[in-house]
Amino acid sequence: MTHTVTLIPGDGIGPEITAATVRILEATGVKFEWERQEAGADAYEKYHEYLPQDLIDSFERTHVALKGPITTPIGGGFSSINVALRKRFELYANFRPIRNLPHIPTRYPDVDLIIIRENTEGLYSGIEHEVVPGVVESLKIITEKASTRIARFAFEYARKNQRKRIHCIHKANIMKLSDGLFLRCTRNISHEYPEITYGEHIVDNTCMQLVTNPYQYDMLVLENFYGDIISDLCAAFVGGLGVVPGANFGDGRAIFEAVHGSAPDIAGRGIANPTALLRSGILMLRHLGESDAAWRIRNAIEKVYRDKTKRTRDVGGTATTSQFADAIIEAMEAQSESAQAEAVIRQT
Ligand code: ATP
């Protein structure tokens, strides 16, 4: 079976890590038909649209996308296309598993933490205006509907995947109405899942608790802005932004993308780490029902990370983006050769 997938390489390091990831995904033998689409500043130059209709039509057809980061101008310019895509397609749940890779020395080994970030509202509603010169207002939108559905998503995931604890992260002592509503909705849903231990922590305390002892948490459910910040903090537990994958889920649709941004400081130099997008690709393979291929890439990553010369610089290695991809493909080929040899031995 061929899977038709919308491919959004993005900009900055996006095209480099996407090319490496696509090469590896194709090397698994799974058949893909990629519908390549542009968005952001590059798309605007060509089509005078930041989010072209062709991209929207493609995703409406495929319902699945693999996406590189798209640069958002700071302090002005157009609104984030990354956020616009999540909102436009109601991809309300941002799923970010924080897990160590083997052979990457970090302060904390064996971290296994799931972040579930609300993806469609909060301060990311993008509603800002100038009240009078010198005074601006950014609106934080929290609705019962979105808070309840993200809480439901988190608890359902926990139930299906035998997770034990969920903490709702909030600042309801200060934002009594908005965070208060988010907290109340999550608490209400928690009553339907008595087998999952439920806790509530204030976001600033959570930062301190995480850095002191990340193992006390199993899953975190957060509104949009806290989810963004806490994700980057947690990335530091497992080797940095170059390795943390993500997925945005809505009803029957998903976009798979790394947690990191477009990293303009290293763009175009061939040194970016494609692991985060590749691990997002593993999540995509599972979503497409291609678990064998997902396992093969996972095993290859474990093998390649043993050898420093095959890892990229951000994780202590010396390899370029494409040398890393070559090493992963070689490791997958070696796996299938040894599997074939084993099969022959079993038959004789
Ligand atoms: P955004 O706000 O757009 O998500 P960000 O603030 O998280 O972006 P990034 O663009 O992700 O910033 O980059 C943060 C730092 O992490 C930069 O120094 C960048 O070089 C590094 N970095 C991010 N992704 C990677 C990667 N895939 N490989 C190597 N380094 C990376």
Q: Would you put residue 122 in left (φ > 0), alpha (ψ -120 to 50) or beta?
A: left
CA of 260 from ligand 1 middle (Å) equals: 5
Mean pLDDT of 135-145: 96
Query: What pLDDT does 125 receive?
Result: 82
Question: Does the pLDDT value for residue 198 go beyond 70?
Answer: yes
Neighbours of 24 (CB within 10 A): 25
CA of 262 from ligand 1 middle (Å) equals: 6
Query: What pLDDT does 343 receive?
Result: 66
Question: Does the pLDDT value for residue 346 go beyond 80?
Answer: no
Residue % of the chain over a pLDDT of 90: 89
Higher local confidence (pLDDT), 77 or 112: 112
In sequence order, the 6+-apart residues with CB closer than 8 A to the CB of 324 are 20, 273, 274, 275, 304, 310, 311, 312, 317
Q: Give the strand pairing for 165-170 and 197-202.
A: parallel
CA of 215 from ligand 1 middle (Å) equals: 25
Domain ranges of the chain: 1-100+239-348, 105-226
Query: What pLDDT does 172 receive?
Result: 96
Instruction: Give the length of the chain.
Output: 348
Query: What pLDDT does 124 receive?
Result: 87
Mean pLDDT (the chain) is 95
Tell me the helix, strand and coil percentages in the chain, rounded to 5: 50, 20, 30
Mean pLDDT of 142-166: 98
Question: How far apart are alpha carbons 146 and 162 in whole angstroms?
Answer: 24
**Alpha carbon nearest to ligand 1 atom 4, residue:** 261
Neighbours of 108 (CB within 10 A): 14
What type of residue sits at position 29? G
Query: What pLDDT does 31 receive?
Result: 98
Q: At 237, list the tokens.
A: 């537990």
Mean pLDDT of 164-169: 98
Mean pLDDT of 151-167: 98
Q: At 2, list the tokens.
A: 């061929």
Query: What pLDDT does 286 receive?
Result: 98
Query: What pLDDT does 323 receive?
Result: 98
Who lines ligand 1 at CB under 6 A? 13, 17, 72, 232, 241-242, 260-263, 265-266, 272-273, 276, 314
Mean pLDDT of 83-91: 93
CA of 261 from ligand 1 middle (Å) equals: 5
Domain 105-226, CATH class in plain words: alpha beta
Superfamily of domain 1-100+239-348: Isopropylmalate Dehydrogenase (3.40.718.10)
Q: Is the pTM of this model over 0.85?
A: yes
The number of the ligand 1 atom at minimal distance from the alpha carbon of 272 is 28
- Of 72, 241, 320, the residue with max ligand 1 atoms within 8 A of its CB, to mutate for a pocket test, comes to 241
pLDDT classification of 163: cutoffs 50, 70, 90: very high
Question: Does the pLDDT value for residue 161 go beyond 90?
Answer: yes
Residue % of the chain over a pLDDT of 70: 98
CA of 15 from ligand 1 middle (Å) equals: 14
Question: Does the pLDDT value for residue 292 go beyond 70?
Answer: yes
Contact 187, 200 (CB under 8 A): yes
Query: What pLDDT does 337 receive?
Result: 76
Query: What pLDDT does 75 receive?
Result: 86
CA of 266 from ligand 1 middle (Å) equals: 9
Question: How far apart are alpha carbons 238 and 78 in whole angstroms?
Answer: 32
**Alpha carbon nearest to ligand 1 atom 26, residue:** 242
Question: Does the pLDDT value for residue 183 go beyond 80?
Answer: yes
Query: What pLDDT does 145 receive?
Result: 97
Question: Does the pLDDT value for residue 211 go beyond 70?
Answer: yes
Query: What pLDDT does 344 receive?
Result: 67
Query: What pLDDT does 236 receive?
Result: 96
Question: Does the pLDDT value for residue 342 go beyond 80?
Answer: no
